[in-house]
Amino acid sequence: MVTLVSELRPDSCVVAEVRPSPNQSERKDGALPDMIVLHYTGMRDNEAAIRTLCNPVSEVSAHYVVLQDGYIVQLVAESRRAWHAGVSYWAGQTDINSCSIGIEIANPGHDHGYPDFPRRQIAAVTALCRSILARHQIPADRVLAHSDIAPARKQDPGEKFPWKLLAESGIGLWVKPAPLIQMGQIYVLGDTNPAIEETQRLLARYGYGVTPTGYLDSPTRDAVAAFQRHFRPMRVDGVLDVSTTTTLKALLAARDARLNSIQPS
């Protein structure tokens, strides 16, 4: 049954207001949401951001918008395909909109000062995500940043977003970032080395769209920077260093351990 824009009803009790957006469609091939993608609005004016997400000319939308005071607006039903991911990739999938729920977090972003996310806002994001997880089977490693799925184009919600706090509430996957150290080999754009190929394989194994070649090309640099924004936020530079590689290996080990723990005996 098709959910018409005029029939939109809140999917969660944490939603304060519904503002139906026409920018939506059916999820393709009967896909069900198994991913949450977090964004920031990147605009100074919250109302302007919501108007953009509801303007048919913009051809963009999201399922939810979470304001700084914790007020949550739903724009698209979870059963429908919101247009939030754009050109993106994760773990072999390119139609991220069909398999995801998109949450826009009101924050002016890197181009407008990039303030910290208020506690009330993060509490609301946490409550919303927990509500979504109660309705959908979403693995921890598929709670992602917009920058994870589109690292060459996007940097939101950025290195200030408190992923650790969400993980402590059972949302997403997190490991303690390996400390920054001065010793050890580093690799930058244009370098070639077997160690680069190994890390490319690890990034691809986690889901990033990189090709293992041993050459640190622009897609690899962008993926490294996206990984750092999410999992090693104290330095985001796209440089492949010991801290980044060690954190990546720990993250994959944590994911594998989690998967093994839920496998039927």
* Sequence spans of domains, the chain: 5-168, 194-262
Q: How much is the pLDDT for 182? A: 72
Token duo for residue 150:
């589109």
Q: In what order do the strands lie in the sheet with 72-74?
A: 17-18, 72-74, 64-66, 100-105, 35-40, 143-145
Q: How much is the pLDDT for 6? A: 56
In which residue ranges of the chain is pLDDT below 50?
A: 1-4
CATH says 5-168 is which class?
alpha beta
Q: How much is the pLDDT for 260? A: 84
- The CATH number of 194-262 is which of 1.10.3720.10, 3.40.630.30, 1.10.101.10, 3.40.50.720? 1.10.101.10
155 neighbors 227 (Cβ within 8 angstroms): no
Q: How much is the pLDDT for 119? A: 98
CA distances from 243 to 116, 215, 239 (A): 24, 19, 10
Q: Is 17 a catalytic residue?
A: no
This prediction's pTM: 0.95
CA distances from 34 to 37, 110, 199 (A): 10, 28, 26
Helix or strand or coil: residue 240?
strand
5-168 matches 194-262 in fold: no
- The catalytic residue among 59, 104, 197, 198 is 104
